[in-house]
């Protein structure tokens, strides 16, 4: 990462920078990165901008290859990338544009506790949550399913969990896609994916996945907070997880098979990880049907994790979760491809929107939103690092017009894992977090170091950019009290 990216980033306004189409022959559209001058310096430190330019090669790409301010170097697509392709104009779908952790996402639930009522119980809660929620690499869950049930999960998503009694209909209403994408085809999924997925339902996973107890430390929009029933000092819980080994295998299978499609459909991309096929081709349709299975698996998983969380709270407080007001605010996917309609140059078009480390941010009035959120716009959940903040935002009309209804997804890494392990001392870090009243439990000390706050950008700066650019609106901010890391 010592090589600073030297390519052109022309200023559009204070929050947007353009990589002109002329930068590389083969780019079909320009690249546009959302950032301020300060974040742009970080962005130049790795190869993410080059990846924004590479994504602009995709056949059928519309308007621009986008990147959010939390952008960083990924493989194929940058993390923080958004690309929409025109399905009617041989637009492609790329498994690499979704990523291995299909429907990695976040959910936020509220409680009716105030910090003062719960502060002496944080430690108990974290220990109970840590023991009751399987986490860590290759963790296996207590929620065991038969192969027939696994197929049901792939089709019904979070609805499967609700049918089992792990939640309510209301939870589904507060989940993107109501917890399941239609069109999931279990036959499009390999035996290997089944094999890897069968024991991992209801497990958190590892790496940057987490469960956090938080308190609301700042309100930005009192009317929206009133509507959502949120006040200063209130306790919330955030869950970040994805489709585990199941999704990794689906992506792996299809990246490998789509490399063949590059020559079959005469597609020229500068990186094999951008392997793709037209959305309307047999291969494209098959991938989409398999991706939906993985997405539904992830929603079922986060629903199970929330169920286990509610049970842990019940165990510690000896009260029902309903009486503790543990309602889901919303659940969003931030690694996914969706078929959505947008007006482009005055015409309505059906687009395949890839969000790779980006969150859907539908504005007020969108038909996909449940009645309760129609007026305010879709809730958007932005997890930060474990030492600073996380945010609740809502989508805007401007996001619909400018970014295919998308906004950022988190803080974004700036420091590699190996650099973190070289320079950060675990004991010092745990003490520093304790001094800020943040208790961390992790399966491995390495994870704590690799996920230290300083390896991330400041989420406050990232959210400033999307709020100032108008592609999301701030509702409130949280800070962590207790964190479970995989």
Partner 1 sequence: MKTYEIINHTADIGLKVFGKNLEALFLNAAQAMFEIILEKTEKESLFKKQESKKFLLNKQGSNLEEIFVFWLSELLYLFNSEGLIMNKADIHKLDSNCIQAEIIGRIFNTDLERIKTEIKAVTYHELEVKKTERGYEAKTERGYEAKVIFDV
Shortest Å distance, C-beta 480 to partner 1: 21
Q: If binding is defined by CB under 8 A, does position 48 make contact with partner 1?
A: yes
Rounded to a whole number of angstroms, the minimum distance from the CB of residue 58 to partner 1 is: 15
Name the nearest CA neighbour of 154 among 221, 228, 246.
246
Residue of the chain from 16, 356, 415, 473 that contacts partner 1 (CB under 8 A)? 415
Q: What is the rounded CA–CA span in Å between residue 294 and residue 336?
A: 10
Rounded least distance, CB 2 to partner 1, Å: 8
Binding residue for partner 1, selected from 100, 130, 299, 362, defined by CB under 8 A: 100
Q: Which is nearer to partner 1, 74 or 383 (CB)?
A: 74
Provide the H-helix boundaries in 382-483: 397-402, 417-423, 426-435, 445-450, 459-469
CB closer to partner 1 out of 136 and 325: 136
| 130 counts as binding partner 1 under rule CB under 8 A | no
How many separate helices (H) and strands (E) can be counted in the chain? 17, 19
**With respect to partner 1, which residue has the nearer C-beta, 316 or 420?**
420
What is the spatial distance between Cα 260 and Cα 277, in angstroms, rounded to a whole number? 9
Q: Binding to partner 1 by residue 271, rule CB under 8 A?
A: yes
What is the bridge-based pairing of β-strands 328-333 and 31-34?
A: unpaired
Token pair, residue 182, equals 């239609």
Given candidates 85, 94, 206, 359, which one binds partner 1 under the rule CB under 8 A? 206
Residue 252 binds to partner 1 (criterion: CB under 8 A): yes
Q: Which is nearer to partner 1, 266 or 347 (CB)?
A: 266
Residues 110 and 234 sit within 8 Å (Cβ to Cβ): yes
* Window contacting partner 1 (CB under 8 A); options: 96-104, 232-240, 293-301, 469-477: 96-104
Position 105 contacts partner 1 (CB under 8 A) = no
Q: Which residues have a catalytic role annotated?
A: 409
245 lies in the site for partner 1, by CB under 8 A: yes
Residue of 411, 407, 413 lying closest to 394 (CA atoms): 407
Cross-strand partners of 267: none
The reply to whether 99 sits near partner 1 by the rule CB under 8 A is yes
192 sits near partner 1 (criterion: CB under 8 A):
yes
Tell me the sheet residues that pair with 218: 477
For partner 1, which is the closer residue by CB, 31 or 245?
245
> Alpha-carbon distance 40 to 313, whole Å?
42
* 105-114/328-333 β-pairing: antiparallel
- The helix (H) or strand (E) run that includes residue 392 is strand 390-394
73 touches partner 1 (CB under 8 A): yes
Considering the complex, what minimum distance in angstroms separates the CB of residue 195 from partner 1? 5
The least CB distance from residue 252 to partner 1, in Å, is 5
456 part of the interface to partner 1, by CB under 8 A: no
Sites for partner 1 among residues 426-455 (CB under 8 A): 444, 446
Q: What contacts 65, CB < 8 A, 6 or more positions away? A: 19, 27, 29, 30, 31, 32, 52, 53, 55, 56, 58, 81, 83
CB of 483 to partner 1, least distance (A): 18
Map the footprint of partner 1 across residues 338-397, applying CB under 8 A. none
Binding mask 5-44 for partner 1 (x = CB under 8 A): ----------------------------------------
> Would you count residue 251 as binding partner 1 (CB under 8 A)?
yes
Q: How far is the CB of 269 from partner 1 (least distance, A)?
A: 11
What is the spatial distance between Cα 226 and Cα 216, in angstroms, rounded to a whole number?
A: 13
Q: Give 61's DSSP letter.
A: B
Comparing CB distances to partner 1, the nearer of 338 and 356 is 356
Query: How is residue 123 written in tokens?
Result: 């430690």
User: Of the two residues 64 and 254, which places its CB atom closer to partner 1 in the complex?
Assistant: 254
Residue among 273, 314, 437, 460 that touches partner 1 (CB under 8 A): 273
Choice between 1 and 12, CB closer to partner 1: 1
Instruction: Name 342's bridge partners.
Output: 349
**Is position 419 an interface residue for partner 1 (rule: CB under 8 A)?**
yes
Residue 356 contacts residue 73 (beta carbons within 8 Å): no
Q: What is the spatial distance between Cα 94 and Cα 110, in angstroms, rounded to a whole number?
A: 36
* 248/330 with CB nearer partner 1: 248
DSSP 179-244: G--TT--GGGS-HHHHHHHTT-TT---STT-EEEEEEEEEES-HHHHHHHT--TTEEEEEEEE--H
Positions in the binding site for partner 1 (CB under 8 A): 1-2, 46, 48, 72-76, 79, 96, 99-101, 136-138, 192, 195-196, 205-207, 245, 248-249, 251-252, 255-256, 259, 271-273, 275, 413-419, 444, 446
């Amino acid at each position: 990462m010592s090589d600073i990216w030297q390519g052109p980033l022309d200023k559009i306004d204070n929050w947007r920078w353009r990589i002109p189409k002329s930068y590389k022959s083969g780019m079909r559209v320009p690249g546009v990165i959302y950032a301020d001058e300060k974040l742009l310096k970080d962005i130049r430190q790795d190869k993410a901008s080059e990846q924004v330019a590479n994504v602009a090669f995709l056949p059928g790409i519309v308007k621009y290859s986008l990147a959010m301010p939390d952008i960083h170097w990924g493989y194929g697509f940058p993390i923080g990338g958004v690309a929409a392709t025109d399905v009617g104009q041989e637009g492609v779908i790329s498994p690499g544009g979704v990523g291995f952790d299909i429907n990695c996402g976040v959910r936020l639930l509220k409680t009716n506790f105030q910090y003062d009522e719960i502060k002496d119980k944080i430690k108990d809660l974290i220990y109970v949550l840590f023991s009751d929620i399987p986490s860590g690499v290759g963790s296996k869950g207590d929620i065991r399913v038969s192969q027939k049930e696994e197929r049901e999960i792939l089709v019904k998503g979070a609805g499967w969990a609700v049918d089992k009694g792990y939640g309510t209909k209301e939870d589904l209403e507060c989940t993107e896609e109501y917890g399941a994408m239609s069109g999931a085809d279990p036959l499009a999924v390999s035996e290997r994916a089944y094999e890897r997925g069968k024991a991992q339902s209801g497990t958190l996973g590892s790496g940057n996945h987490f469960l956090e107890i938080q308190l609301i430390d700042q309100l930005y929009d009192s009317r929206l907070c009133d509507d959502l029933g949120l006040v200063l000092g209130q306790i919330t819980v955030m869950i970040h997880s994805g489709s585990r080994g199941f999704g990794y295998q689906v992506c792996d299978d299809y990246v490998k098979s789509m490399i063949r499609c590059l020559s079959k459909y005469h597609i020229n991309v500068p990186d094999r990880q951008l392997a793709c096929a037209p959305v309307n081709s047999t291969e494209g349709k098959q991938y989409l049907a398999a991706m939906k299975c993985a997405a539904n698996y992830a929603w079922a998983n986060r629903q199970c994790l929330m169920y286990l969380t509610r049970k842990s709270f019940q165990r510690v407080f000896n009260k029902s979760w309903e009486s503790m007001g543990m309602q889901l605010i919303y659940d969003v996917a931030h690694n996914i491809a969706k078929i959505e309609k947008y007006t482009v140059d005055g015409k309505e078009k059906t687009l395949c929107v890839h969000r790779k480390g980006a969150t859907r941010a539908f504005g007020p009035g969108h038909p996909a939103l449940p009645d309760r959120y129609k007026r305010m716009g879709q809730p958007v959940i932005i997890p930060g690092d474990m030492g600073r903040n996380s945010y609740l935002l809502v989508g805007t009309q401007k996001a619909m017009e400018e970014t295919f209804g998308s906004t950022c997804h988190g803080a974004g890494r700036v420091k590699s894992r190996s650099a973190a392990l070289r320079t950060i001392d675990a004991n010092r870090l745990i003490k520093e977090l304790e001094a800020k009243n943040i208790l961390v439990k992790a399966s491995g000390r390495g994870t704590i170091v690799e996920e230290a706050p300083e390896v991330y950008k400041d989420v406050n700066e990232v959210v400033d950019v999307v709020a100032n650019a108008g592609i999301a609106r701030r509702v409130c901010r949280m800070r962590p009290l207790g964190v479970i890391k995989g």
